[in-house]
Structure 1
Amino acid sequence: MKAIIGTGISACAHASLNLEADFYDKARFPGGRMSSKPFEGKFFADIGATYFKNSVEIQKDGRIYKRSLVDWLKSKGIQAKTYSLDGNSSMSFCETGMQSIAERLLSNKTVHFRKELKKIYKTENDKTSKFQLEFTDGSQGFYDEVVITAPLPQAIELLPEGEIQNIWKEFTSPYNHYRKTLVACGYWKNLNSKTYLELLNLENKSFLRKGNDAEYISIESSKLINIDNVSQQNREFSIRNQKASPFDSEQIKDSGIVIMIQFSEKFSESYFGRWKSSSGEPTDTCYEQFNLQINKFFTGLPSPDRVRSHQWKYAQAENSMLGKTGILNLEHKNFKDYQAIVKNSGIALTGDWIYGPRIERIFMGEIERISI
């Protein structure tokens, strides 16, 4: 029997293969870096991964294969939509939020939430060698294999002390640096229709701005809206009443907007301890910085009705074994050495430190790894 620690991207790859396993997560909901923050009604913001590419190229068995995450999800009953990210039409997303992918894939699995792993011990007897999992609530579990999807600094501390921990610590040391990322999301409940449609009709809805404090900005609510239909409504309204503004306040009834900002590594390091209160609510600093950055980018936008915040201590591994872009080479010597350690130890540490931060690389790479 296998235990999988975490319910994020890597764990969902295992879940999609219908392998027998128990899943554990210290959080209340699944998703990990695919988590979403809800607002009123249908509105939400993806606070980690927001989009993914259709496919990734994987090298194994002397050949290069193209593996489509969109097609894989479709085979599991999950529909992805394409979207333009700074003019790139190959990006995809889930209109019910990235977290819903995890919820769907884990829906028929044994998942234990609010279950934080404290330590793994190796127990041996004459017949079998198993791992004892000890949780912070005092409960225990016994398994033949363990998969840990947590960031490396956390994963290493969970391992059995001695040979297993030392081997993994030495092997993963080149990949153990992570960047922090602060996130803030604003919800505007009833923008005036002129401002609402100006935002909605922007050519791009997501903006990658390297070198700026607000490194990535996404109009998350645009995922919920059929842009073509709205544009057609604008045209029809103008034709019917040429004297009236196409931004008339009576035209658009549902004018909620959600905008998410992911901040740069430098900014996140500076403000990391001042972003969330002890109760988990955004601090005054978070409110001030969010409004400041929003108005630098969307001039004249009023303060949002609500702000939600998040802080990723281990947002992404900076030096991934197989790189962040390009072909995933599963014939790479380091990857073969990794597979040997997994086989010999009975424990697999996995995640973006192997495949890079992109969802399609982690998801399809882990599926291929399991099948080798």
Structure 2
Amino acid sequence: MSRVLIVGAGLTGSVCACLLRREMANKVKIVVWDKSRGTGGRMSTSRSPSDASCIVDLGAQYITATPHYAQIHHNFYEELLASGVLKPLVSLVEGEVVKVGGQKNYITPTGVSSIVKHFLKQSGAEVLFDHHVTHIYRKGSSWEVSPKGRAPEQFDAVVLTMPVPQILQLQGDVGSLLEDSQRLLLEAVSYSSRYALGLFYKAQAHIHVPWAAKYISNNPCIRFIAIDNKKRNLESSECGPSIVVHTSVPFAMKHLEETNQQVEAIILEELNKLLPGLPQPDSIKCQKWRYSQVTSSVAACPGQMTLLSRPLLVCGGDSFTHSNFDGCIESALKVCDVLKSSL
């Protein structure tokens, strides 16, 4: 059996692992490493330290399916809807821009990371956290991969799904494998940045606004606010209420190198101007997304870029498509095709 390492426990990595299990179950042993402490990547769900039922989605807020992708990825949507991971978004999102041709929005009752957890569970992969890959070396017909502070391990194929700047920072043989044309394509990838603030409240707290989520168009700091439990169609009696705030991209760029504590204070001040009279939160989490969404993806490499065929080293993720659910699915399908051809 071929031992395959997928670096990144986000949506692309989890779907890729799931597809491998379903299509090559008797040929591969799948291992997933992630540098963080949990599943999701930018589909991140955070829990209140004092109440595990009180959660906020700090990354993706809801899934939007256009008619085109609802058709070509219908099996993924149907699977998630049938399992209860996805449900239609029925709450009011004020200020949402609806694209021509119509679209359907879906929420995740137990948090957006549940999508990634679903596919990882289906994959049967060995999933290990706190594994920050720093070095990759070619060793004959395999790869030797070193996580920070841990012993290296060998794999027959490696899939890299982290943001492109992190791929370019890898030490070892990756840099020497890149052709000049590939390096130029990767270096041209760009991302927006933003901060997300999650506020957790006690169960008896009440937040009185007529909407579940709202896009803010005229604030220098805040771009989006969601009453997270209301967005997921849960009453505050079922769990403590929670709020998530996303900043604008210009604000994040201006404050990107400041500490989370400094930025948190600014966001809270602006939030209290927009929603005066908010109760005191039980706890707060500030998340910096240095690589939030891809603004310019890898050109002419739809879905993936193969750095070496034998042994296989392939890159995937939204950097090679576009930053949403369907972009990650599209990349996972392309990467899986490459793996099947190689293995």
How big is the shift at 1:307? Answer: 1.3
How big is the shift at 1:210? Answer: 4.6
RMSD: 2.9
The whole-number CA distance in structure 1 between the counterparts of 2:233 and 2:298 is 38
How big is the shift at 1:344? Answer: 6.8
In structure 2, the partner of 1:237 is none
The whole-number CA distance in structure 2 between the counterparts of 1:321 and 1:354 is 5
How big is the shift at 1:341? Answer: 4.9
- Alignment coverage as a number of residue pairs: 313
Is the CA contact 2:6–2:31 (under 8 Å) kept in the aligned structure 1? Answer: yes
The whole-number CA distance in structure 2 between the counterparts of 1:317 and 1:336 is 14
Give CA-to-partner distance per residue, 1:160-199, whole Å, 9 cap, x none. Answer: 1554134542332222x22221111112325665xx3x33
Is the CA contact 1:275–1:309 (under 8 Å) kept in the aligned structure 2? Answer: no
TM-score by length of 1: 0.74
Is the CA contact 1:36–1:98 (under 8 Å) kept in the aligned structure 2? Answer: yes
Query: Is the aligned partner of 1:51 residue 2:62?
Result: yes
After TM superposition, list the pairs within 5 Å mapping 1:204-283 onto structure 2.
204-210=211-217, 212=219, 213-226=221-234, 256-276=240-260, 283=261
In structure 2, the partner of 1:239 is none
Is the CA contact 2:185–2:298 (under 8 Å) kept in the aligned structure 1? Answer: no
Structure 2 alignment gaps of length 5 or more: 22-27, 339-343
Note closer, same or farther for the CA distance 1:222–1:263 as it changes in structure 2 (3 Å cut): same
How big is the shift at 1:369? Answer: 4.9
In structure 2, the partner of 1:82 is 88
Note closer, same or farther for the CA distance 1:335–1:342 as it changes in structure 2 (3 Å cut): farther
Give CA-to-partner distance per residue, 1:224-276, whole Å, 9 cap, x none. Answer: 535xxx7xxxxxxxxxxxxxxxxxxxxx8568321111111221123233343
Is the CA contact 2:303–2:335 (under 8 Å) kept in the aligned structure 1? Answer: no
In structure 1, the partner of 2:163 is 151
Note closer, same or farther for the CA distance 1:191–1:268 as it changes in structure 2 (3 Å cut): farther
The whole-number CA distance in structure 2 between the counterparts of 1:46 and 1:93 is 10
- Give the 3-state SS of the residue equivalent to 1:266 in structure 2: helix
Give CA-to-partner distance per residue, 1:184-218, whole Å, 9 cap, x none. Answer: 1112325665xx3x33xx2x422223563211211
In structure 2, the partner of 1:121 is 137
After TM superposition, list the pairs within 5 Å mapping 1:1-372 onto structure 2.
1-19=3-21, 20=28, 21-39=30-48, 40-54=51-65, 57=68, 66-68=72-74, 69-74=76-81, 77-83=83-89, 84-86=92-94, 90-107=104-121, 108-124=124-140, 129-158=141-170, 160-161=173-174, 163-167=176-180, 168-175=182-189, 177-189=190-202, 196=207, 198-199=208-209, 202=210, 204-210=211-217, 212=219, 213-226=221-234, 256-276=240-260, 283=261, 285-321=262-298, 334-335=300-301, 341=307, 343=309, 346-371=312-337
Q: Which amino acid in structure 2 is aligned with residue 15 of structure 1?
A: A
- Give the 3-state SS of the residue equivalent to 1:361 in structure 2: helix
- Give the 3-state SS of the residue equivalent to 1:57 in structure 2: helix
Is the CA contact 2:156–2:311 (under 8 Å) kept in the aligned structure 1? Answer: no
Note closer, same or farther for the CA distance 1:371–1:346 as it changes in structure 2 (3 Å cut): closer
- Give the 3-state SS of the residue equivalent to 1:318 in structure 2: strand
The whole-number CA distance in structure 2 between the counterparts of 1:14 and 1:351 is 10
Q: Which amino acid in structure 2 is aligned with residue 113 of structure 1?
A: F
Note closer, same or farther for the CA distance 1:56–1:190 as it changes in structure 2 (3 Å cut): same
How big is the shift at 1:74? Answer: 4.1
How big is the shift at 1:287? Answer: 4.3
How big is the shift at 1:336? Answer: 6.5
Is the CA contact 2:297–2:319 (under 8 Å) kept in the aligned structure 1? Answer: yes
Is the CA contact 1:117–1:134 (under 8 Å) kept in the aligned structure 2? Answer: yes
The whole-number CA distance in structure 2 between the counterparts of 1:267 and 1:192 is 30
How big is the shift at 1:312? Answer: 1.3
TM-score by length of 2: 0.80
The whole-number CA distance in structure 2 between the counterparts of 1:349 and 1:339 is 5
The whole-number CA distance in structure 2 between the counterparts of 1:46 and 1:191 is 21
Q: Which amino acid in structure 2 is aligned with residue 140 of structure 1?
A: P
How big is the shift at 1:337? Answer: 10
Structure 1 alignment gaps of length 5 or more: 59-63, 231-251, 277-282, 323-333
Q: Which amino acid in structure 2 is aligned with residue 178 of structure 1?
A: Y
- Give the 3-state SS of the residue equivalent to 2:68 in structure 1: strand
- Give the 3-state SS of the residue equivalent to 1:79 in structure 2: coil
Is the CA contact 1:186–1:260 (under 8 Å) kept in the aligned structure 2? Answer: yes
Is the CA contact 1:56–1:67 (under 8 Å) kept in the aligned structure 2? Answer: no
